[in-house]
Structure 1
Amino acid sequence: MAIMYDLTKVNQSEIDIDKESYLGNVDVRYSLTIPFLNRREGLSVGIILMNPSGANEDKSDGTVNKIINFFYDYQIDRHQIKDISICNVLPVYAINTSTALMNIKFLKEANVLDRVQKLNEDKLAIAMKNKGLIVLGWGKPEVKTIPNLLYYKEVLRIVELLSILHKDNLYVFDIKNAISTFTEHGDPRHAGRSATLKDLIKISVSELFGLG
């Protein structure tokens, strides 16, 4: 059964999505912008996750709905949030990291992977440019799925980009019952799975490299 948007919070008719399909097999989503209902004033938030799961202009998914619920009620310095834009380290739609790797290999075999990832970087820069703050929540792929070098090559590109555009406005999710700000591997904690989003924690670029 499809997961739907909460229409008491989301202005679904104005959702903006940048997506495309490759060879009929792999769907890619570069960005998803979700405006909140009846909010013309407030902050725009950019969020960087791992990869899209299912959300588009017609339906949501569990992680996206969780983020919507969190930011709908969240305020910074008494400013409410008017919309959120979600981008990803890897733009391929997949329900888990094993499927993501399969789709990435398909794009590689079709000689379009480099183009897709370069487009992802370029479009992410555009989507994040005028945001009031950026929240990092990409986590780490499951063991024996997406190789570390492949994943962190893309993470590094994004960190370098954000360190230019938003170095003073970077945040991570404060996860309920988490014992530390970052995972044991030093990654921003993922917003999905069983995570309960409690708050935001402001961070520096140096902290992302374990030097803060």
Structure 2
Amino acid sequence: MPINYPNYVVTPVFCKIKKLNKNISSRTELTAKLDNNYDKSILFILMNPSKANEVESDRTINKCASIAFHDLEHLHIGQFSIVNIYPFYESNSKELNTVINNVKAVSKTFYYREIFYNLKVVENKIRNSDFVMLGTGGIPKDIDNVKEYQFILNTFISYIECHQGKVFLGTSQKYHNKYIYKGKYSYHICPKGNPNTIERIKLHNIKNGKFINLPIEKEIILKNKARNGI
């Protein structure tokens, strides 16, 4: 069943989508304006696209929209964008490796062109956003090319460190209130499609590729209004 964007998201949203064939598509960017008078922007960096396009949303996108509109209202966010480590559509993260291999099997040229183009898009969005939140999670167990995945993620983190210096990370009681997974990863913003897992977010510094807690920064408790897509 299709999931609608919340009524405070102006539709249709902007998407950069390319189709390799009827089964394989990539989305390197999704940007949506919020129905308010604010002009700041936030970028969410996630694992890979699920289902959302110009007119239909998904639970992860609505989670991001809720954070931008409700929880970060004090930051005057008027626009949010979504980018990903891998730009290829797949709702189940356990199947991401299969999708990657399928894309390569059909066209390695398309695969690497999209990977390198995605790097450019992400750096540009990081440079031009007012705030950034990282919600990629760790590396899926089924990923064959762990080195490639880690390289892309490390590159994104270096972009954030260079252009922003700070990044929002999320946590919950499920994660024992820790913001950093295995010492170097953020937690997934919507694990297994559950928008209510992440309960709090907080700004962290990035130095030499590592996340550093900022005691001066307060935790932001999320309202989790994405539960009902509102």
TM-score tier, shorter chain, comes to 0.7 to 0.9
CA–CA distance in structure 2, aligned partners of residues 210 and 134 of structure 1: 13
**Unpaired segments of 5 or more residues in structure 2?**
214-230
Q: Structure 2-normalised TM-score? A: 0.81
Q: Is the 8 A contact 2:169 2:187 kept in 1?
A: yes
Are 1:100 and 2:96 counterparts? yes
CA–CA distance in structure 2, aligned partners of residues 44 and 209 of structure 1: 24
Figure out how many residues of one structure are paired with residues of the other and give that number: 207
Counterpart in the other structure of 1:116: 114
Are 1:152 and 2:150 counterparts? yes
Secondary structure at the counterpart of residue 134 of structure 1: strand
Secondary structure at the counterpart of residue 201 of structure 1: strand
CA–CA distance in structure 1, aligned partners of residues 75 and 203 of structure 2: 16
| 1:107-186 equivalent positions in 2, closer than 5 A | 107-109=103-105, 110-112=107-109, 113-167=111-165, 169-179=166-176, 180-184=178-182, 186=184
CA–CA distance in structure 2, aligned partners of residues 118 and 2 of structure 1: 31
AA matched with 2:56: K
Alpha-carbon shift at residue 23 of structure 1 (Å): 3.6
CA–CA distance in structure 1, aligned partners of residues 134 and 40 of structure 2: 17
Counterpart in the other structure of 2:5: 5
Secondary structure at the counterpart of residue 12 of structure 1: coil
Q: Is the 8 A contact 1:97 1:141 kept in 2?
A: no
Alpha-carbon shift at residue 140 of structure 1 (Å): 1.7
CA–CA distance in structure 1, aligned partners of residues 211 and 40 of structure 2: 29
Counterpart in the other structure of 2:205: 204
CA–CA distance in structure 2, aligned partners of residues 22 and 162 of structure 1: 30
Alpha-carbon shift at residue 115 of structure 1 (Å): 1.3
Counterpart in the other structure of 2:227: none
Per mean C-alpha deviation after superposition, the further-off stretch among 39-48 and 25-34 is 39-48
AA matched with 2:188: H
Alignment partner of 1:62 out of 48, 55, 59: 59
Q: Is the 8 A contact 1:31 1:127 kept in 2?
A: no
| 1:31-70 equivalent positions in 2, closer than 5 A | 31-37=29-35, 39-70=36-67
CA–CA distance in structure 2, aligned partners of residues 97 and 200 of structure 1: 22
**Unpaired segments of 5 or more residues in structure 1?**
none
Q: Structure 1-normalised TM-score? A: 0.87
CA–CA distance in structure 1, aligned partners of residues 10 and 84 of structure 2: 22
- Alignment RMSD, CA only? 2.2
CA–CA distance in structure 1, aligned partners of residues 39 and 200 of structure 2: 18
Alpha-carbon shift at residue 176 of structure 1 (Å): 4.6
AA matched with 1:84: F
CA–CA distance in structure 2, aligned partners of residues 145 and 79 of structure 1: 37
Secondary structure at the counterpart of residue 18 of structure 2: strand
